[in-house]
C-alpha cells in the first residue's frame, strides 16, 4: 500500500463483535482459530513478555523452550533447557524467564536479551508451576514430589525458603499486590494461601476436585479455579475464602488466564478442545473457541488482542483473537450499569446508544475499548458506537427486571444450619447471591421463579432473607433459627 493511501484511523467504521449471549446462555458457535504455530514436541506452558513482543513456550518432549515473535507469529529462537520443562513465567521487567523442569528437578533462568540459560537452580523435585512476585524479587515454585513450595531469590538465583503445603502442589499464582501466593494441590483437592511476608500458609481453601492452573483478578478479589475432575470453574472470594459461584459446562478445564482489565477469563478445556470465555462481571460464558487439540496453558497478550494456547495434542500453539463485544451484557431496568465495549476503530467516538437512548459517562479508553453507563430501559436493546467513521454493528444488552420474593419453605430450622430451603418468587434467574442475615450463600437456580439454598449456621432468632440478582435486590421474607 502506498504511503498515505490508508484511511485515517478516526474515519474507519467502528466494529463490535456480537459475542455477548443472553443471561444464562452459552455461546454455541465456535470462533475461528486464525493462526497455528508449530513449536516442537509436547508443548505445555506459555508466558508472554511484559512488552508483548514474545511468547515463550515449554516443550516437555524435547527439553526446549521455543520463542515466538508476536509480530510475525513465527518461532525465532530455540533454547535448550533441562529435561521435562513444564511451567514458565516471565519477570515483570521482562529481562528473565523462569522454567520449571519437572524431569530434572530444577528451575532454569533464561536471559531474554540473549535467549540463553544463565543459571540453573537445583533441589526442586518435580516442579510443575511457578510464579514471579510483582517486584521481581522472588519466584515461588510448586514442587510436587516434596509437597512444598520453594522460594527462589532472583538476586542470587538460590533457594531462600521452603513452605510446606498440601499433597501434590501443582500451580502457583501471586496476588497483584504481592502479599499472597495461591498454590493449587491436586492431591489435597485444596488451595493453600501463603502470606509472602512470612512465607507461611495462613489458610487452606477446600472443596475442589483436581484443581489445576488458577488465576486471580487484577483487583485481587476473585480467584478462578478450574476443577479438572469436576468439569466446573469455581469463583472464590479471596477475602473470605468462600465460593461465590460454581460454573458448570467445562470439559476437563485445565488453566485460566484473565485479561489485564479483569473483564474476561479464558479457560482451556482438554476434554473438548475448546477455550471458553467467561465474563467476570456476570460469571457467564460469552464465547467459545473450538478446533484446538488438548489445550493446556494459555496467556493473554498485554494489549488483550490475542490469546496464546499450547496444544499438547498436536505440538502447536494456537493464536486466538481476543473476544470482543459488550461486558457485562445485562443490567437492571433502572440503568446505572458500568459496561465496557471492546472492538476496533473506536477512537473519536461521539456517542454510545442503548437502543435510542444515549449512555452517560462515556470514556474512550483507547482505539479498542470504551466504558459507558447504561441508561434506564427494558427488554433487549441494541448497543452501538458512533464515530466520525460511522456507526458500529449492534450488540445486545439485556435489561433484567427487578426480583421479588414471595415465599420460602421451610420457614425455620436449627441454629446449626444445613436445612434445604426453597425460595419462590419472580425474576430469580440471574441471582448471584442469597443472604441469611449477614451470611451469604450460593444458590442453585431451579427456574426463574425458584431457588434452592442451604441455610448457614446462625444464632437463634429471625433473620431477613435477601436475594441479589442482575436486576436488583429482593427481600420481605424471613427465616427463623431455633434451638433444640
Question: Tens digit of pLDDT for each residue in 51-67?
Answer: 999 999 999 999 999 99
94-152: pLDDT as tens digits: 999 999 999 999 999 999 999 999 999 999 999 999 999 999 999 999 999 999 999 99
Question: Both 256 and 277 in a single domain?
Answer: yes
Residue 362 inside a domain? The answer is yes
Residue 28 has pLDDT above 60, yes or no: no
Mean pLDDT calculated for residue range 164-178: 96
Same domain as 459, residue 393:
no
CATH number at residue 77: 2.130.10.10
Closest by CA to 272, choosing from 253, 246, 258, 255, is 253
Phi, psi (rounded to 5 degrees) for 400 = -100, 120
Q: Give the pLDDT band (50/70/90) at residue 430.
A: confident
pLDDT digits (tens, 9 = 90+) for 364-381: 998 888 999 999 999 999
SS3 content of the chain, % helix, strand, coil (to 5): 0, 55, 45
Domain match, 220 and 163 both: yes
pLDDT, mean over the chain: 91
d(CA 297, CA 311): 8
Tens digits of residue pLDDT in 292-310: 999 999 999 998 889 999 9
What is the grid cell recorded at 412? 425455620
Same domain membership, residue 293 and residue 335: no
Q: For position 54, what pLDDT does the model report?
A: 97
Say if residue 174 is in the same domain as residue 301: yes
Q: Do residues 27 and 176 share a domain?
A: yes
Burial class (CB in 10 A: 0-12, 13-18, 19+), 71: exposed
Share of the chain above pLDDT 90, in %: 80
Cα atoms in the Cβ-side hemisphere of radius 13 Å centred on 260? 12
Q: 428 is in which domain, residue-wise?
A: 404-482
Residues 246 and 141 reside in one and the same domain? yes
Residue 21: predicted pLDDT: 42
Query: Pairing between strand 190-195 and 180-185?
Result: antiparallel
Query: 345 lies in a domain?
Result: yes
State the CATH number of the domain containing residue 418: 2.60.40.10
Domain shared by 154 and 85, yes or no: yes
Residue 55 shares a structural domain with residue 187:
yes
Q: Are residues 244 and 278 in the same domain?
A: yes
Tell me how many domains the chain contains.
3
pLDDT class of 154 with cuts at 50, 70, 90: very high
Rounded-to-10 torsion of CA 160, 164, 166, 168: 50
Let me know whether 418 and 300 are in one domain: no
Domain co-membership, 220 together with 366 = no
* pLDDT band, very low/low/confident/very high, at 18 (cuts 50, 70, 90): very low
Contacts (Cβ under 8 Å, ≥6 apart) of 38: 75, 315, 316
Given a cut of 60, is residue 19 above it in pLDDT? Answer: no
* pTM (2 d.p.): 0.80
Amino acid at each position: 500500500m502506498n504511503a498515505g493511501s490508508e484511511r485515517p484511523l478516526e474515519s474507519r467504521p467502528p466494529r463490535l463483535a456480537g459475542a455477548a449471549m443472553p443471561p444464562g446462555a452459552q455461546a454455541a458457535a465456535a470462533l475461528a482459530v486464525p493462526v497455528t504455530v508449530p513449536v516442537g514436541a509436547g508443548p505445555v506452558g506459555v508466558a508472554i513478555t511484559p512488552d508483548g513482543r514474545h511468547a515463550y513456550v515449554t516443550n516437555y518432549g524435547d527439553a526446549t523452550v521455543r520463542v515466538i515473535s508476536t509480530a510475525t507469529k513465527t518461532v525465532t529462537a530455540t533454547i535448550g533447557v533441562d529435561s521435562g520443562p513444564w511451567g514458565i513465567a516471565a519477570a515483570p521487567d521482562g529481562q528473565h524467564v523462569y522454567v520449571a523442569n519437572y524431569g530434572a528437578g530444577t528451575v532454569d533462568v533464561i536471559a531474554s536479551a540473549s535467549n540463553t540459560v544463565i543459571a540453573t537452580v537445583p533441589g526442586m523435585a518435580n516442579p510443575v508451576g511457578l510464579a514471579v512476585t510483582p517486584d521481581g524479587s522472588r519466584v515461588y515454585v510448586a514442587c510436587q514430589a516434596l509437597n512444598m513450595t520453594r522460594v527462589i531469590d532472583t538476586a542470587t538465583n538460590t533457594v531462600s525458603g521452603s513452605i510446606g503445603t498440601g499433597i501434590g502442589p501443582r500451580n502457583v499464582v501471586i496476588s497483584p499486590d504481592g502479599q499472597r501466593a495461591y498454590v493449587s494441590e491436586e492431591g489435597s483437592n485444596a488451595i493453600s494461601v501463603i502470606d509472602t511476608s512470612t512465607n507461611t500458609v495462613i489458610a487452606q481453601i477446600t472443596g475442589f476436585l483436581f484443581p489445576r492452573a488458577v488465576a486471580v483478578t487484577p483487583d485481587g478479589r476473585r480467584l478462578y479455579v478450574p476443577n479438572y475432575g469436576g468439569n466446573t470453574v469455581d469463583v472464590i472470594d479471596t477475602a473470605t475464602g468462600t465460593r461465590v459461584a460454581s460454573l458448570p459446562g467445562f470439559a476437563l478445564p485445565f488453566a485460566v488466564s484473565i485479561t489485564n482489565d479483569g473483564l474476561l477469563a479464558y479457560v482451556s478445556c482438554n476434554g473438548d478442545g475448546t477455550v471458553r470465555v467467561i465474563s467476570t462481571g456476570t460469571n457467564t460464558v460469552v464465547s467459545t473457541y473450538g478446533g484446538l487439540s488438548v489445550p493446556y496453558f494459555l496467556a493473554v497478550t498485554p494489549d488483550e488482542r490475542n490469546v496464546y494456547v499450547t496444544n499438547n495434542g498436536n505440538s502447536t500453539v494456537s493464536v486466538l483473537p481476543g473476544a470482543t463485544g459488550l461486558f457485562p451484557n445485562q443490567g437492571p431496568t433502572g440503568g446505572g450499569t458500568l459496561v465496557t465495549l471492546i472492538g476496533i476503530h473506536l477512537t473519536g467516538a461521539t456517542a454510545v446508544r442503548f437502543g435510542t437512548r444515549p449512555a452517560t459517562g462515556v470514556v474512550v479508553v483507547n482505539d479498542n475499548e470504551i466504558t459507558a453507563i447504561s441508561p434506564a430501559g427494558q427488554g433487549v436493546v441494541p448497543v452501538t458506537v458512533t464515530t466520525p467513521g460511522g456507526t458500529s454493528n449492534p450488540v445486545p444488552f439485556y435489561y433484567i427486571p427487578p426480583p421479588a420474593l414471595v415465599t420460602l419453605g421451610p420457614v425455620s430450622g436449627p441454629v446449626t444450619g444445613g436445612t434445604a430451603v426453597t425460595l419462590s418468587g419472580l425474576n430469580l434467574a440471574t441471582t448471584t447471591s442469597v443472604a441469611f442475615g449477614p451470611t451469604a450463600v450460593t444458590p442453585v437456580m431451579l427456574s426463574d421463579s425458584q431457588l434452592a439454598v442451604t441455610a448457614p449456621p446462625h444464632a437463634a432468632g429471625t433473620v431477613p432473607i435477601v436475594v441479589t440478582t442482575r436486576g436488583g435486590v429482593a427481600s420481605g421474607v424471613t427465616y427463623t433459627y431455633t434451638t433444640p
